[in-house]
Amino acid sequence: MSSTISRLGALATGGLFSLSLLAQDAHAQATGFPSAQESDPSAIGWMEGFPPPPELRITNPDSVFFSFPRLRWSVCHLREFLPTEQVSRGLGAPIPFDYALDDGIDAVTFMPLRGEEEMTWEESLYANYTDGMLILHEGRIVYERYFGCMDEAAQHAAMSMTKSFTGTLAEMLVAEGTLDDTALVSDIIPELEVSAFGSATVRQVMDMTTAFEFSEDYGDPNAAIWVYNAAASPFPRGEGYEGPNGYFEFLQTVGPDPEGIQHGDEFHYRTPNSDVLGWIVSRVSGMEVTELLSDRIWSRMGAEQDAYMTVDGLGTPFAGGGLSAGLRDLGRFGQIMLNGGAWHGEQIVPEAAVESIRAGGNLDDFAAAGYADLAGGSYRGQWWMFNNDHGAFAARGVHGQTIYIDPTAEMVIVRFASFPIAFNSRIDPTSLPAYQAVAEYLMAQD
Amino acid sequence: MSSTISRLGALATGGLFSLSLLAQDAHAQATGFPSAQESDPSAIGWMEGFPPPPELRITNPDSVFFSFPRLRWSVCHLREFLPTEQVSRGLGAPIPFDYALDDGIDAVTFMPLRGEEEMTWEESLYANYTDGMLILHEGRIVYERYFGCMDEAAQHAAMSMTKSFTGTLAEMLVAEGTLDDTALVSDIIPELEVSAFGSATVRQVMDMTTAFEFSEDYGDPNAAIWVYNAAASPFPRGEGYEGPNGYFEFLQTVGPDPEGIQHGDEFHYRTPNSDVLGWIVSRVSGMEVTELLSDRIWSRMGAEQDAYMTVDGLGTPFAGGGLSAGLRDLGRFGQIMLNGGAWHGEQIVPEAAVESIRAGGNLDDFAAAGYADLAGGSYRGQWWMFNNDHGAFAARGVHGQTIYIDPTAEMVIVRFASFPIAFNSRIDPTSLPAYQAVAEYLMAQD
């Protein structure tokens, strides 16, 4: 039973952003994946029928709902597998976007990183198993397409883009003076004094320069990643389970870095930081991350749809990866960030919060982490800075999720995707240069 | 493990409408329940804190989340315990109600059934552990109050009011000619030929005059109610579980009435009928109940909020009790039914469907079921007819849920509640005469 629970936990929660590679079909790995068109969930017919026939079922107890090609359906249906909490849009009328569709974008060409042949924008959408693509230019929608499980009314897994929402909420509280980013975590969350996180500063958590033991050795059943995943599971546990229950209990078990690395020494992209940050913003604001996100952002931006977040067994939202939302609603948020926090005459995010993010994190720390395709970048307030000549920055999530903000081109790109494997390093080569090419194209149209 | 699964299943699904009495605290039963004010979840502080302290936690694995007084919190938070499917409101602007608040309603008095002392309307709200109360008169909101876990943005468990939505969808398909209510169930769902349901007509299912074996002997671990509850559980099952998986598989196991009662002989209010009906409307329409409800009703009535339904382990919505929704959105639906199906110039529900429901079911069948406080009534298309002199009819759910429609007074009452026990017979004495008194009061104001 405990291995079942572990697998379920992995797939339910933490595993959503890290384990898909393991879960996927070995045959597909060996021979190459079916194409975006071949793996289109509506072509396969997943979960169609009353009831769906066994071969078309995607169910949680099977513990493979987030493996390719099933994940292409599941990314639009997480609430059907897992307990969730609403991120309310409020009860008013949505604020619609203006449209200025540009039918030249599909033909924009670019050279993929390390590529030998040019690719068109439209080809890149299939190469990346895109589910939804939105491009805003000067605040108007110039491009919008849906594929796979997605349409304009769907909510798609945002994966680790969730972190950027948690980070923005933290930056907002810092800008307002209600959260001191130089404070120690243990000053705000005394329960974490026993943990490696207690002695980190809030800023180190926000920028992921903390040091702690976090083995991702999936072959070791005692590795922290498994403990984390089991803790995060919202499902009834097998008898005899004695591990931590929920994100907050897990965080209290985290020990110091075994190699003696200290807080502030290095950047390491590790999700438990975002869970600590979720705890911090909740303790400071008195609201769950879902409530705070609704109160501060979702209910103030004229969102079309509620969003939602997965929760652990104690009802704690997964601040590091649990968000699902609509494509255009993420476009609204991206546009707010592009606008320095302003939206239809209201300052949704304090300008100082946006400036703090755009100022970026430590370049050396980031360089040491060795992200080849993000060289010269940094990580700040749970956002990725590219430090390219357009000043672009992004929220990013595995399997290809992004909110890509290009201030110079006044462009926001939102992509939902279900790329077969969980590494953005496989997706960036046909994404980042494509975004730059579209930015240049749009600027040339002005 | 199997008893854990059974209990979880019970509380997760079927048990939501039948087992709370068993689960509640024996002390409270012996001494009387804490009052509505004493059991107010915000006064208790359920789930407050990051994390909530153990004594304030309400979690699913505890399997008591739907016992009083916890249920007073849980009725607004089902999605946080269970997998769910969205019932989309669409993406447009809500259609707001006009208001004509009447502050005289609270002082309206009535004599409870079998009572000796008059009670005011306002007193009745506390007597019934009301969470939300909406009164529409001539299409405008004359009264609206929230208590307990509820506010205007909350979604509350509708419990068996769900059946009336499933029934209305079926009546709509019948009125449109796409569903023949004289057909045998097995003609539409061949998989049910092996079941007692196969030989019933669609109409018998709609009106609950089917005959089948359905023991609700909770002391017998093999009783059908337990098999049903286990089948309905969306949680991973213990090894060795060999029972049916999901509502549809359960329905195939249902045998004939052991005492030889035949379809059409008697009215028996039994939830599996609604699950059969959900299967029928899905098979005929090609849509899940959630999709059909959104497509035909929710997205066409200017709803303020998405609704949602709980699902079994195969993603089948619980057509007999799984809906959660906002108070005013149920008011919109009630007003549509009062209007003969029309709403802001559009015919949402065919008039013939509303007329079929209002024509009522067989009076003798209903009388034989012995509902003392509903004497003279009937059951038709999954709605309760009172056959009183105002022609009132209602959707009803355990713990006090109702959409009460009084055509003579042009009045719709929607109540969400979390009465400590699951019997409406305890709630009707302070509800039905109160509704009649308010109807008469409103008519006198005209």
Q: Are residues A431 and A363 in the same domain?
A: yes
Distance CA B344, CA B62 (A): 46
Longest dimension (CA), chain A: 65
Q: Would an 8 Å CB–CB cutoff place A70 in contact with chain B? A: no
- pLDDT single digits (tens) B147-191: 999 999 999 999 999 999 999 999 999 999 999 999 999 999 999
Q: What is the rounded average pLDDT for all residues in chain B?
A: 91
Q: Are residues A279 and A418 in the same domain?
A: yes
CA proximity to B17, closest of B317, B422, B371: B422
Mark yes or no for CB contact A83/B85 under 8 Å: no
Q: Would an 8 Å CB–CB cutoff place B54 in contact with chain A? A: no
Tokens of B259: 């005492």
Q: Are residues A204 and A223 in the same domain?
A: yes
- pLDDT single digits (tens) B36-66: 999 999 999 999 999 999 999 998 755 688 8
User: In terms of residue numbers, what domain contains A232?
Assistant: 180-272
In this structure, is residue A37 part of a structural domain?
A: no
Distance CA A301, CA A346 (A): 9
Q: Are residues A147 and A194 in the same domain?
A: no
Angle of CA points B85, B275, B308, to nearest 5°: 20
Mark yes or no for CB contact B61/A306 under 8 Å: no
Q: Is the peptide bond before A41 cis (omega within 30 degrees of 0)?
A: no
Q: Which segments of chain A have a pLDDT < 50?
A: 1-31
Helices B289-296, B272-285: axis angle to 10 degrees equals: 70
| Distance to chain B for A85, nearest Cα, Å | 6
CB atoms within 10 A of CB B147: 22
- pLDDT single digits (tens) B73-102: 999 999 999 999 999 999 999 999 999 999
3-state class (DSSP) for residue A146: strand
Measured on CA atoms in the order B178, B182, B187, B193, is the torsion positive or negative? positive
Mark yes or no for CB contact A1/B90 under 8 Å: no
In this structure, is residue B212 part of a structural domain?
A: no
Distance CA A217, CA A226 (A): 9
In this structure, is residue A1 part of a structural domain?
A: no
Could you tell me if the ipTM is greater than 0.95?
no
Residues of B in contact with A52 (CB under 8 A): 314-315
Mark yes or no for CB contact B59/A313 under 8 Å: yes
Last residue of a domain, one of A272, A306, A334: A272
Q: Are residues A185 and A169 in the same domain?
A: no
| Distance to chain A for B56, nearest Cα, Å | 11
Q: Are residues A208 and A153 in the same domain?
A: no
For residue B248, give the nearest of A51, A91, A153 by CB distance.
A51
**Per-residue buried b or exposed e for B297-313, using 16+ beta carbons within 10 Å of the residue's own CB:** bbbbbbbbbbbbbbbbb
Specify the CATH number for the domain of residue A213.
Answer: 1.20.58.710
Tokens of B19: 């087992």
In this structure, is residue A44 part of a structural domain?
A: no
| Distance to chain B for A179, nearest Cα, Å | 16
Q: Are residues A371 and A222 in the same domain?
A: no
Residue in chain A closest to B52 (alpha carbons) equals: A314
Mark yes or no for CB contact A315/B234 under 8 Å: no
In this structure, what DSSP letter does residue A212 have? -
Q: Are residues A268 and A279 in the same domain?
A: no
CA proximity to A298, closest of A84, A87, A85: A87
Specify the CATH number for the domain of residue B344.
Answer: 3.40.710.10
| Distance to chain B for A385, nearest Cα, Å | 31
For residue B237, give the nearest of A61, A155, A282 by CB distance.
A61
| Distance to chain B for A289, nearest Cα, Å | 10
Q: Are residues A149 and A193 in the same domain?
A: no
Mark yes or no for CB contact B84/A80 under 8 Å: yes
Mark yes or no for CB contact A79/B86 under 8 Å: yes
Mark yes or no for CB contact A61/B236 under 8 Å: yes
- Secondary structure of B198-258 in HEC code, one letter for each residue: HHCEHHHHHHCCCCCCCCCCCCCCCCHHHHHHHHHCCCCCCCCCCCCCHHHHHHHCCCCCC
| Distance to chain B for A381, nearest Cα, Å | 22
Q: Are residues A185 and A147 in the same domain?
A: no
Mark yes or no for CB contact B304/A80 under 8 Å: no
3-state class (DSSP) for residue B323: strand
Tokens of B441: 């009061």
| Distance to chain B for A36, nearest Cα, Å | 25
Mark yes or no for CB contact A8/B82 under 8 Å: no
CA A312 to chain CA mean position, Å = 17
The number of domains in chain A is: 2
- pLDDT, residue B61, reads 57
| Distance to chain A for B19, nearest Cα, Å | 20
Q: Which of A3, A50, A235 to mutate to test the interface with B (most CBs of B within 10 A)?
A: A50
Q: Are B351 and B339 in contact (CB under 8 A)?
A: no
Q: Which of B50, B252, B289 to mutate to test the interface with A (most CBs of A within 10 A)?
A: B50
By percentage, how much of chain B surpasses pLDDT 70?
Answer: 92
In this structure, is residue A49 part of a structural domain?
A: no
Last residue of a domain, one of A224, A250, A272: A272
Q: Give me the half-sphere count of Cα atoms (radius 13 Å) on the Cβ side of residue A140.
A: 8
Q: Give me the half-sphere count of Cα atoms (radius 13 Å) on the Cβ side of residue B403.
A: 26
Mark yes or no for CB contact A79/B83 under 8 Å: yes
Residue in chain B closest to A279 (alpha carbons) equals: B50
- Residues of chain A by 3-state class (helix, strand, coil), percent to 5: 40, 15, 45
Residues of B in contact with A304 (CB under 8 A): 91
Residue B402 burial by CB count (10 A; 0-12/13-18/19+): exposed, middle or buried? buried
Tokens of A134: 């939105």
- pLDDT, residue B2, reads 34
Residues 133-162 of B with CB under 8 A from A: 152-153, 155
Residue in chain B closest to A237 (alpha carbons) equals: B61
Distance CA A272, CA A163 (A): 10
Mark yes or no for CB contact A288/B235 under 8 Å: no
Q: Would an 8 Å CB–CB cutoff place A96 in contact with chain B? A: no
Mark yes or no for CB contact B51/A153 under 8 Å: no
| Distance to chain B for A193, nearest Cα, Å | 15
Tokens of A349: 């995010």
- pLDDT, residue A62, reads 54
Distance CA A417, CA A431 (A): 12
Residue in chain B closest to A82 (alpha carbons) equals: B83
| Distance to chain A for B442, nearest Cα, Å | 28
- pLDDT, residue A6, reads 35
Distance CA A53, CA A67 (A): 19
Residues of A in contact with B305 (CB under 8 A): 91, 306
Mark yes or no for CB contact B316/A57 under 8 Å: no
In this structure, what DSSP letter does residue B151 have? -
Tokens of A41: 């969930």
Q: Would an 8 Å CB–CB cutoff place B83 in contact with chain A? A: yes
- pLDDT, residue B291, reads 98
For residue A153, give the nearest of B50, B91, B152 by CB distance.
B91
In this structure, what DSSP letter does residue B373 have? G
For residue B61, give the nearest of A58, A79, A313 by CB distance.
A313
Spell out the residues 6+ positions from residue A391 whose beta carbon is closer than 8 angstroms to its own.
Answer: A358, A406, A407, A408
- B402: which strand partners? B396, B415
Spell out the residues 6+ positions from residue A275 whose beta carbon is closer than 8 angstroms to its own.
Answer: A247, A248, A250, A251, A318, A319, A320
Q: Would an 8 Å CB–CB cutoff place A74 in contact with chain B? A: no
Kindly state the average pLDDT of the residues B374-392. 96
Residues of B in contact with A279 (CB under 8 A): 50
- pLDDT, residue B21, reads 37
By percentage, how much of chain B surpasses pLDDT 90?
Answer: 83
Angle of CA points A353, A356, A360, to nearest 5°: 145
In this structure, is residue B265 part of a structural domain?
A: no
Spell out the residues 6+ positions from residue B240 whose beta carbon is closer than 8 angstroms to its own.
Answer: B1, B2
Residues of A in contact with B155 (CB under 8 A): 86
Q: Are A20 and A399 in contact (CB under 8 A)?
A: yes
Alpha-carbon radius of gyration of chain B:
21
Mark yes or no for CB contact A59/B315 under 8 Å: yes
Distance CA A354, CA B180 (A): 60
In this structure, is residue B385 part of a structural domain?
A: yes
Q: Are residues A281 and A267 in the same domain?
A: no
Q: Are residues A258 and A290 in the same domain?
A: no
Strands (E), B129-257: 130-137, 140-146, 156-157
Last residue of a domain, one of A251, A272, A293: A272
- B11: pLDDT confidence band, cut at 50, 70 and 90? very low
Distance CA A217, CA B34 (A): 52
Mark yes or no for CB contact A50/B93 under 8 Å: no
| Distance to chain A for B354, nearest Cα, Å | 27
Q: Are B132 and B414 in contact (CB under 8 A)?
A: yes
Identity of the amino acid at B242:
E
Alpha helices in A297-358 (DSSP H): 327-338, 351-358
- pLDDT, residue B29, reads 39
Kindly state the average pLDDT of the residues B262-287. 97
3-state class (DSSP) for residue B86: strand
Alpha-carbon radius of gyration of chain A:
21
Mark yes or no for CB contact A51/B246 under 8 Å: yes
In this structure, is residue A41 part of a structural domain?
A: no
